[in-house]
Structure 1
Amino acid sequence: MSVKMSDNNRKKVVIIGSGLVGSVCACFMAKRGYDVEVFERRDDIRAAVEVKGRSINLALSHRGRKALNSIGIEDDVLESAIPMKGRLLHSAKGELKRVVYDPTFNQCIFSVGRNYLNKKLIQATTNFPNVKIYFNHLLTRSNFEEGSVTLINLKTCEEFKRNADLIIGADGAYSKLRLAMQQTPQFQYSQQYIEHGYLELSIRPQMGHKMEPNNLHIWPRGKFMMIALPNQDSSWTVTIFMPFEKFENLSTPKKVLKFFQDTFPDSVDLIGENDIVDTFLKNRPSELVSIKCSPYHIGGKFLIIGDAAHAMVPFYGQGMNAGFEDCSLLDDLLEKNRNDIAKTIQEYSKVRVKNAHAICDLAMYNYVEMRDLVNRIGFQWRKSIDHLLFRSFPNKWIPLYNSVSFSTMEYNQCVCNRKWQDRVIYKIVMTIGIIIGTIVIIFFKSFIYK
């Protein structure tokens, strides 16, 4: 049960950014009885005809669902989300192979459109009279000693200051608040752009029915890959991830079409030759960045969450889910500490940094898994053992993917759990090898002496 705030003691919260994580955080803070102001650089996307920016479909899993449930909109979101039970792998010859996420309990992840969900979450903030959102407002300065931020109205050019009990940066991978934090002593920051970019294509609704539904489709090709996620209107969002150098080599319609016909032959008719060529020749691939920093707070009032704190590559489908879990954790700690904000954000940093770093690393690893390892016999063998042991000992042996996507086990613990499992399997294999070797030696010795 939340600690209620009296009218004379209502905390004031400023949130920078009304994206996915900022909107969810606003709902959590408003539910606690705080007065919340959200400042967003962009226009209100609910009124926009065309929304610019990233549109990679999102994979909603357990951690994200838990946060949405806490603010009362999980069922509403899931009504328009599409369940994906596993990966469907496309070979270069067009052959299909299914890899189920959870053959034991049949759990699935859900495909949901980024812009659709962002609109839904912004709308959810209107359920709370103590939330106000201001669009077209940009953060210009942060004063950590004063506990204030300065913003500018991009339409009127009016600049003003806001003081608050808690100021939260949920303004994405290129966060203005984090940039200010980077200028403070002892703040650790690193970023890594991978050498691969992405382009988005789509399969139109009239062709979408030819795709097997309720799966994440993957075309793994060793050094690169293409994926497709389903949409509610029967279309599919297709994303190709590839080294920039390879994108640059596809500079003519002939080269682009030949590449697709040789590499993704079963996708050409689905996407359409004209759409493939237009996308490649009229757009440049977008970058993918992984960001780590520490701590996530400054002083007793400033905190960063979501991509502002831990932007990650999208290959584990946990960027949004981790951001939503940030909000759940912050709320839990505020409850535990009875709304003591300074104590809470210090504890939040201590608890969250190691886990956010762990999922950033896992996301990097999963790109290698999706584009390459899924086709290898050793990987498939390991998956089979994991599922067998999970089915036999569901409370003791939880595979890495299941612990990340279908539980709230701390990300760092998921990694430790996987390392323990690796050691166990190694010992089992070595023991079996020794037993077999001993039997062979005994057999040959008995044969020779006869």
Structure 2
Amino acid sequence: MSEARRRVRAVIVGAGPVGCLLAIELRRRGFEVEMHEKQSAGTMTSAGTARSFNLTLTHRGSSALRPALRAQLYEVGQVLRQRTVHHRDRTPTHQPYGVRDDHHLLSVPRAALQRILLAEALAAGAVVHFGHSCVAADAHRAEAVFVTGDGGVCRATGDILIGCDGANSTLRHELSKSGARMRIHQEYISHGHVELTMEPDAARALSQDRMHLWPRGDHFLQAQPNRDGTATTTLFMPVDSRAGELRFRAFPGRDAVRGHFEREYPDIADALPRVTGEVWDARPALLKVVRCAPYHYARAVLVGDSAHTMVPFYGQGINCSFEDAEVLCGLLDRHLAADTDRHGAIRAAVADFSKLRVEPGQAIADLSMANLEELNTHIDDELFHLRKGLEARLHQRYPRDFTQLYQLVAFTRTPYDEVVRRSERDRHVLDLLCEKYDPRTQADEIIACYPDLARDVETTASPGPMLSPGPAGTSRSGELS
């Protein structure tokens, strides 16, 4: 162990899943770790406020976990292998997530994920202080000040200060006003969400290895089966403010809720007995995007939602955040092993973290917003399904030349920004072929012509920017890992 690595002390603001994963990995490396969480211990591991939805791990995020920890999550999570779209006429459409057995989602209730990670962090030797709200920070001293639950004040100083305090990050705010010169943009989207209660018999009747979606124009219903036979059911719908209260835009009054569900969701409405109260009486949870750059300042760094808050429509928030944790730990390993100046090594590591993670973070935020449009409109469209069928056949025929966007995002470690560049090229080639040939009747011609046209397009296109190598960028483009 290098001198710089001895007795490194990490102060983590926030003890959610990402903070806990970082605590586990840093303790493995011999760091002293203390986490400060504003919520109480009981609140952290409770089922929430009925405005939640399960977190979905894919290969990208689960690869950041050690096998024993990953196995614990598979014991409580539900494997989902495809998406089932329930149309208004009660007919379903099935869309597999990938082409291999490991191309699946692991749907994990938030409270279960939190309980497991927190228990592992404590077992690893991390110290956790609950009821501590961050009110000030000094990045040059890697120091944060907290107000405790009983009204006291405490100060924590370390070698590195890590912000894992989520979308409304206090540490991000403190860094931005103390000289960090961060570019921060926050935007609320029109949609909010609320959790609904589905009757147990109806939940068990759903195919258990599928994500269930009922898209209806500008809103949709989602059901995620759980291992206990329940289904986490969530309504996503535009909201507006009426007399100072947030309401779902589609409902002029309480009496309109039940009729709307019977009309729009006839195959599932009877299984939602409390829907009127849950939709009308609950305040919808809002959704927003937060973009930030850089992610670091001096010896402080932002990780996960505190650095890049995204909407949940690609299911990559937790995956991107777990990947953040893996990359940061790898950079700390590299710099602390090579530099005898501990604080200099940490400053270099967090600076490299920004270089590697800002562009991917912005790319997946954009993809998540774009996927909202797909879920709202295109997913219920015949041409959309024809296109998806063409993409699946192209990958089967030319696995090294074409991989569907979702597979690149979820089931490879290719950086998100590189995924976007590759997908834009592939989409352009397929657009050209669909203009020349009718995808309804000439799919074979489209598939046969794809490789030659793709090579022509690549030859005439200017090369994209080179990416720095890193823990999340080591897979060759197009190779499923």
CA contact (8 A) 1:151 1:160 kept: yes
User: Residues 406-445 of structure 1 correspond to what in structure 2 (within 5 A)?
Assistant: 406-429=411-434
User: Residues 35-434 of structure 1 correspond to what in structure 2 (within 5 A)?
Assistant: 35-45=32-42, 51-52=48-49, 55-69=52-66, 72-103=68-99, 107-129=103-125, 131-155=126-150, 157-183=151-177, 184=179, 186-245=181-240, 247-272=248-273, 275-299=274-298, 301-339=299-337, 340-429=345-434
SS in structure 2 of the partner of residue 348 of structure 1 = helix
Tell me what 1:32 maps to: 29
Taking the aligned partners of 1:395 and 1:360, their CA distance within structure 2 comes to 26
Amino acid at match of 1:119: R
Percent of paired sites with the same residue? 28
SS in structure 1 of the partner of residue 111 of structure 2 = helix
Amino acid at match of 1:399: Q
| 1:401-442 CA distance string (max 9 Å, x none) | 001111111000110110110222234446669xx9xxxxxx
Taking the aligned partners of 2:175 and 2:10, their CA distance within structure 1 comes to 18
Amino acid at match of 1:307: D
CA contact (8 A) 2:163 2:301 kept: yes
Taking the aligned partners of 1:247 and 1:210, their CA distance within structure 2 comes to 28
CA contact (8 A) 2:50 2:195 kept: no
Q: Which runs of 5+ in 2 are unaligned?
A: 241-246, 338-344, 443-481
Taking the aligned partners of 2:167 and 2:267, their CA distance within structure 1 comes to 35
In structure 2, the CA distance between the partners of 1:10 and 1:283, relative to structure 1 (3 Å rule), is: same
In structure 2, the CA distance between the partners of 1:34 and 1:222, relative to structure 1 (3 Å rule), is: same
In structure 2, the CA distance between the partners of 1:222 and 1:249, relative to structure 1 (3 Å rule), is: closer
In structure 2, the CA distance between the partners of 1:431 and 1:51, relative to structure 1 (3 Å rule), is: closer
| 1:266-293 CA distance string (max 9 Å, x none) | 1112222xx1111023212111001101
| 1:358-382 CA distance string (max 9 Å, x none) | 0000000111111211122332222
After the TM superposition, which of the residue ranges 330-339 and 26-35 deviates more from structure 2? Answer: 330-339
In structure 2, the CA distance between the partners of 1:97 and 1:53, relative to structure 1 (3 Å rule), is: closer
In structure 2, the CA distance between the partners of 1:224 and 1:53, relative to structure 1 (3 Å rule), is: closer
In structure 2, the CA distance between the partners of 1:104 and 1:428, relative to structure 1 (3 Å rule), is: farther
1:199 positional shift: 1.3
CA contact (8 A) 2:139 2:161 kept: no
Taking the aligned partners of 1:288 and 1:191, their CA distance within structure 2 comes to 11
CA contact (8 A) 1:45 1:119 kept: no
In structure 2, the CA distance between the partners of 1:13 and 1:373, relative to structure 1 (3 Å rule), is: same
Q: Which runs of 5+ in 1 are unaligned?
A: 437-450
| 1:152-183 CA distance string (max 9 Å, x none) | 2212x221222111000000000010011221
CA contact (8 A) 1:204 1:234 kept: no
Taking the aligned partners of 1:48 and 1:30, their CA distance within structure 2 comes to 22
SS in structure 1 of the partner of residue 248 of structure 2 = helix
In structure 2, the CA distance between the partners of 1:325 and 1:50, relative to structure 1 (3 Å rule), is: closer
CA contact (8 A) 1:251 1:281 kept: no
1:29 positional shift: 1.1
SS in structure 1 of the partner of residue 161 of structure 2 = strand
Amino acid at match of 2:387: R
Taking the aligned partners of 2:171 and 2:282, their CA distance within structure 1 comes to 30
CA contact (8 A) 1:296 1:353 kept: yes
In structure 2, the CA distance between the partners of 1:47 and 1:404, relative to structure 1 (3 Å rule), is: closer
| 1:194-216 CA distance string (max 9 Å, x none) | 01111110213333222122111
Number of corresponding residues: 425
SS in structure 2 of the partner of residue 409 of structure 1 = coil
Taking the aligned partners of 1:231 and 1:142, their CA distance within structure 2 comes to 40
CA contact (8 A) 2:137 2:171 kept: yes
| 1:124-162 CA distance string (max 9 Å, x none) | 112213x1111111111112333321112212x221222
Taking the aligned partners of 2:423 and 2:328, their CA distance within structure 1 comes to 27
CA contact (8 A) 1:104 1:391 kept: no
In structure 2, the CA distance between the partners of 1:138 and 1:47, relative to structure 1 (3 Å rule), is: closer
In structure 2, the CA distance between the partners of 1:54 and 1:244, relative to structure 1 (3 Å rule), is: closer
SS in structure 1 of the partner of residue 348 of structure 2 = helix
Taking the aligned partners of 2:50 and 2:206, their CA distance within structure 1 comes to 26
SS in structure 2 of the partner of residue 195 of structure 1 = strand
Taking the aligned partners of 1:369 and 1:49, their CA distance within structure 2 comes to 32
Taking the aligned partners of 1:29 and 1:287, their CA distance within structure 2 comes to 33
Taking the aligned partners of 2:160 and 2:218, their CA distance within structure 1 comes to 44
1:332 positional shift: 1.7
SS in structure 1 of the partner of residue 400 of structure 2 = coil
1:224 positional shift: 1.2
| 1:86-108 CA distance string (max 9 Å, x none) | 11111112211111111455621
Taking the aligned partners of 2:358 and 2:266, their CA distance within structure 1 comes to 43
In structure 2, the CA distance between the partners of 1:401 and 1:291, relative to structure 1 (3 Å rule), is: same
SS in structure 2 of the partner of residue 220 of structure 1 = strand
In structure 2, the CA distance between the partners of 1:430 and 1:248, relative to structure 1 (3 Å rule), is: closer
Taking the aligned partners of 1:175 and 1:379, their CA distance within structure 2 comes to 38
Taking the aligned partners of 1:400 and 1:163, their CA distance within structure 2 comes to 43
